[in-house]
Structure 1
């Protein structure tokens, strides 16, 4: 299952929170022309570096399936950033 929502929260130095909710599917649809170029570049890279295409696709799929539930938290002084993937 691919991620559906990415939540970005940032605590500013003044203590207020900035929250952004990014739905993944509409962003993928808007960026699909660039995604096609990235896939083609990945195919060329697999051929140049002699990496198995099937193995690379399998690894990418496993990475996408493992993303839901992931949380990144960074805190530095009075500033904090939290990225959550659902």
Structure 2
């Protein structure tokens, strides 16, 4: 399943927390023109390095399918960042 929601939590040095909910589909629709340019650039890069474009596309699909349930936590001193993909 493609990720639906990305939650970004941020704890500031003073202890206050900030949480942002980012829906993936609307962001993807807004950035779709850039996505098209990125896909064309990836195709050119695959052809230049003699990598199979279908294999690269399949690997990208596997990566996106594996993202739901991923949690990334980074803590530095009293500042912490949590990224959760649902």
Normalised by the size of structure 1, how large is the TM-score? 0.99
CA RMSD of aligned residues (A): 0.4
Give the paired residue count.
Answer: 86
Within-5 A mapping of 1:6-85: 6-85=6-85
Q: Secondary structure at the match of 1:19?
A: strand
Any stretches of 5+ residues in structure 2 without a counterpart?
none
Runs of at least 4 residues off by over 3 Å: none
Any stretches of 5+ residues in structure 1 without a counterpart?
none
Once the two structures are TM-superposed, the CA of residue 54 in structure 1 deviates from its matched residue by 1.2
Normalised by the size of structure 2, how large is the TM-score? 0.99
